[in-house]
Amino acid sequence: MATATVLAMPGHGVACKPNTNNNFFSKASSATGTVNMNWRCRSTAAMATMTVVKRETAREKAEAEDDWMAYLSPEKVDVLAQLEPWAEAHVLPLLRSADTAWQPSDMLPDPAALGADGFHAACVELRERAAGVPDAHLVCLVGNMITEEALPTYQSVPNRFEGVRDLTGADGTAWARWIRGWSAEENRHGDVLSRYLYLSGRVDTGAVDRTVHRLIASGMAMNAARSPYHGFIYVAFQERATAISHGNTARHAGEHGDDVLARVCGAIMADEKRHEAAYTRVVGKLFEVDPDAAVRAFAYMMRRRITMPAALMTDGRDDDLYAHYAAAAQQTGVYTAADYRSIVEHLIRQWRVEELAAGLSGEGRRARDYVCGLPRKIRRMEEKAHDRAAQARKKPTPIPFSWIFDRPVSVVLP
């Protein structure tokens, strides 16, 4: 989960923040050596200084758009159509039916089954165990739940991919049935976490509900949003990241004595790993049938980073809510920069990128080399960031979270 970084323009001393309305991160300009972003600054002088950078960004963004738009050609879209029988045989079997999948009612106290007294006793026990979960971990859990609850946005993501979209909402293609079945399974995740948090009595449900509402209304920004090559790479990465986050939450919950939460998050993690397997298979097949296009799409997405789906979350009060939530996740070990690197390393191995040779163009070879060199670069950046943090000896900053009644959580901000 990449956190927003607050910088100051040289010579102005004016704090400038990345524009949260535009999550496009462009490559460093070879001419200026600067990283091109869109910024919002209150200083007129700073705005004038950034004008050149914005022009650079617009040019590079146009070039990048031309790059991924080529993936919408009939030839590329037909690749997905030709893979439909393969998807029927190798992707759809990874779904679970409503009768075989776990349901939220299996995980939490059921008043109809337990009766009034039994339900009350079960809820008291659940609250006692939930009380042992530290606030920092609770904030991460709420953030994960809010992310899961924005499912309407996520179902729309693969429905933008050319060649696999569910055009009528009830198409019988393998791709359309996967999208609906995947969404049905994902729907249980937000439901069970929301019910758990409600029963725990530890969160301001109104503040949480309003954050969910705002996140769905805000949507999410995604690079190359209509390309199935780029899109499936994005979702494969996201599913693994989500599995890691829920898995770490399950482990932490167990360490703090909340076996119910550990079971819930463990079940979600298992789902996410199965979904990851499906999307990884799809991309692996694209690497098999169209390696040059696949590796170039992989490099494209990595150059622009994988933007987390909840990056636009806000509670209406904290403009940096996502950054604060991400800082809590980093500090608690729920999801860290090292996890991001490990996912890149895993996907390189999974798709055997280093072994690619036959069928690659010059651009494809450059993309392969770039991707394969990324883990080493990210590790160096981690080491430098760690050294800078050690030298700066930054003290934790108490951040109040509306989700937990404005109780402060101390986090180290970047």
Residues serving a catalytic function are: 102, 148, 186, 189, 239, 242, 271-272, 275
> Can you tell me the distance from the alpha carbon of 170 to that of 179, in angstroms, rounded to the nearest whole number?
10
> Can you tell me the distance from the alpha carbon of 117 to that of 121, in angstroms, rounded to the nearest whole number?
6
Q: In whole angstroms, how far apart are CA 1 and each of 13, 128, 143, 350?
A: 28, 31, 12, 22
Contact 372, 347 (CB under 8 A): no
Give one DSSP letter per residue of 40-75, joined into a string.
E-S-HHHHHHHHHHHHHHHHHHHHHHHHHHGGGSHH
359: which residues sit within 8 A by CB, 6+ positions away?
291, 292
What φ, ψ does residue 143 adopt, rounded to 5°? -60, -40
Q: What's the helix, strand, coil split of the chain in %, to 5?
A: 65, 5, 30
Q: Which residues pair with 411 in a beta bridge?
A: 397
Kindly give the pairing relationship between strand 7-8 and strand 15-18.
antiparallel
241: which residues sit within 8 A by CB, 6+ positions away?
1, 306, 308, 335, 339, 340, 343
C-alpha dihedral, 177 to 179 to 185 to 190, nearest 10°: -150
> Can you tell me the distance from the alpha carbon of 226 to that of 242, in angstroms, rounded to the nearest whole number?
22
> Can you tell me the distance from the alpha carbon of 108 to that of 199, in angstroms, rounded to the nearest whole number?
9
> Can you tell me the distance from the alpha carbon of 412 to that of 324, in angstroms, rounded to the nearest whole number?
9
328: which residues sit within 8 A by CB, 6+ positions away?
136, 139, 140, 143, 334, 399, 409, 411
| Residue (of 230, 231, 206) closest to 317 by Cα position | 206
